[in-house]
Chains A and B, each alone.
Chain A
Amino acid sequence: MTPQIWVFLGYFAVVFGIGWYSLRATRNETDYWIAGGELGWFTGGATMAATHTSAGTFVGTIGVMYTVGWSFGWVLLSIPLAYWFMVAVLAPRFTRQKELTIPAFIETRYYGKGIRGLAGAIILIATVVYIQAQIVAGGLIANTVFGIPTTWGMIGFTAILLVYTVVGGMVAVVYTDAFQLVVMGLGAVFAVPLALRQVDGLGGLLTLVESAHPLVFTWETMPATLLFTMGLSFFLGGVATPEKLIRLYAMKDMRTIRRGVLFSIVMILGINLLVFILALSAIVLFPSLSTGDLAMPMVATAVLPATLGSIMLAAITAAMMSTVDSLLIVAGSALSVDIYQNLLDPEASPRRRMWVDRLGIVVVGATPVVLLLSGVGEGDLVQFIVLLFTALMAAAFVLPVVGGVFWRRATQEGAASAMVGGVAATFAWEAWGATTVEPVLCGFLVSAALFVGVSLLTPPPPASALAPYFESSMSRDSA
């Protein structure tokens, strides 16, 4: 057995151990979906950072930066800005009434089971695509570490993820995320000095990288409009992707949320900046890779000594798994709570509901692998799939969520058309629009226009829908 396999076996053992512990800590649906709503700043912040940091960061970001250069790195600034907005502006109102899922919030604020099912369906479809991109990255890692075919790697990772997520729900996800964040941090912190040693330090790197890729520090490789709209996509996605929003419900109170998000921002910025340096090293050390997605596995296997290299690969695995487990929770809850139990079986007993919850996660976890095995969705750069997912979520949910807690006049019809129109416009732009502008811009503008226009054309919402989010709305409306 090589050191690589030992590192991975130890890593999986810890993950399974946490899953087992979480099964005992999960007594009801609130524990299963939002960890009881009692997370502290460390676990809450860690799970946010780990969920944000995906294979997109370790494989995709390096891939894009390897190809287009440093200017792409500036998109990173949109993340702390988005989280700051989320905590300072959205969270104080949004968390006044805690729900188990984001579509459940949609039902409360927009007074309808149908619109909740619609939100669940959008989340479900988009999330399955996102999971698929991450699983593809997992397959590449398994191929590098264990030498097994990527298909078996994808199946293996899916099985591991499903075991602990199905068993322990959000509690398992949160604690494994905290552990995986540590693995990611260690991977990045160890890898950078070793990579820098191969290129004569940071000064040497900056000189060498410009001779290998003359445009690396210019703004020419990526049009400004694309860079700006990518940033917008990450900003809006950061504000309103369901796997981020649900963590606001999972944390204890506003004070905890503010501190947790600070911790999360520090970790995200730190890990990303270190990863960016690795991307520059990859340009120097491996100037002619067939695809940018190979840059990170190459650094891990060819630059680092065997044990550290396997910690780096474990870090990539941790990034992938800690994102997919959170997405499984979001998609599983959309399927079993917001679609099945909400629309088809509202009378189910608590025991039956817990079974359906777990079955939902199995179904959404197995679907991407089945799709990949039948040849759907292979071969795209991971980071661009991440961007499309973020754009879809942003176009569908920013207005209904943020507008919903700030604009009393927002109606069910307005929110529903904003969701459907936003998703349709995003897809339309992706298919036919200019490639120099991210589809999120079109999707968001269409969503905003429909949200405002349709809301104003339809009767105002009932007072009961506004009561949880607007101070003294009951007294004002009844006066």
Chain B
Amino acid sequence: MNGPGFTFWGLFLACALLLVGYVTWMIRAERDE
């Protein structure tokens, strides 16, 4: 059973995690320059 639970909210969660990951990487890349 999938239901609206994870299939639906999981996508929003995954997007948020990706953004946090990118920003963290970007800050470190700028610091290392």
Q: Which residues of A contact B18 (CB under 8 A)?
A: 77, 80-81, 84, 265, 269
User: Which residues does B use to contact A, with CB under 8 Å?
Assistant: 2-5, 7-8, 11-12, 14-15, 18-19, 21-23, 25-26, 29-30, 33
**A259–B14 alpha-carbon span in the complex (Å):** 21
Q: Which residues of A contact B19 (CB under 8 A)?
A: 80, 265-266, 269
A217 touches B2 (CB 8 A): yes
User: Which residues does A use to contact B, with CB under 8 Å?
Assistant: 70-71, 73-74, 76-77, 80-81, 84, 88, 206, 210, 217-219, 255, 258-259, 262, 265-266, 269, 273
Question: Which of chain B's residues has its CB closest to A92's CB?
Answer: B29
CB distance from A269 to the nearest CB of B (A): 5
**A98–B24 alpha-carbon span in the complex (Å):** 28
B26 touches A70 (CB 8 A): no
**A73–B5 alpha-carbon span in the complex (Å):** 14
CB distance from A182 to the nearest CB of B (A): 21
A262 touches B22 (CB 8 A): yes
CB distance from B10 to the nearest CB of A (A): 8
B7 touches A217 (CB 8 A): yes
**A241–B14 alpha-carbon span in the complex (Å):** 24
Q: Which residues of A contact B33 (CB under 8 A)?
A: 255
| Given contacts A76-B15, A81-B18, A258 and B4 within 8 Å (CB-CB) | no
Q: Write 22 A-B pairs (CB below 8 A) sorted by A numbering.
A: A70-B7, A73-B11, A76-B11, A76-B15, A80-B15, A80-B19, A80-B22, A84-B21, A84-B25, A88-B29, A210-B4, A217-B5, A218-B2, A218-B7, A219-B7, A255-B30, A259-B26, A262-B22, A262-B23, A265-B22, A269-B15, A269-B19
A77 touches B15 (CB 8 A): yes
Q: Which residues of B contact A219 (CB under 8 A)?
A: 2, 7
Q: Which residues of A contact B8 (CB under 8 A)?
A: 70, 206, 217
CB distance from A476 to the nearest CB of B (A): 25
Question: Which of chain A's residues has its CB closest to B16's CB?
Answer: A269
B22 touches A217 (CB 8 A): no
Other-chain residue from B7, B15, B30 in contact with A258 (beta carbon distance below 8 A) = B30
CB distance from B14 to the nearest CB of A (A): 6
Q: Which residues of A contact B26 (CB under 8 A)?
A: 258-259, 262
**A266–B18 alpha-carbon span in the complex (Å):** 10
Question: Which of chain A's residues has its CB closest to B12's CB?
Answer: A273
Question: Which of chain A's residues has its CB closest to B26's CB?
Answer: A258
Q: Which residues of B contact A84 (CB under 8 A)?
A: 18, 21-22, 25
Q: Which residues of B contact A273 (CB under 8 A)?
A: 11-12, 15
CB distance from B13 to the nearest CB of A (A): 11
Q: Which residues of A contact B21 (CB under 8 A)?
A: 84
Question: Which of chain B's residues has its CB closest to A69's CB?
Answer: B7
**A269–B12 alpha-carbon span in the complex (Å):** 9
**A70–B12 alpha-carbon span in the complex (Å):** 12
Q: Which residues of B contact A206 (CB under 8 A)?
A: 4, 8
**A243–B6 alpha-carbon span in the complex (Å):** 34
Can you list the 5 inter-chain pairs with the closest CB atoms, starting with the nearest? A217-B4, A217-B7, A80-B18, A218-B2, A206-B4
A71 touches B7 (CB 8 A): yes
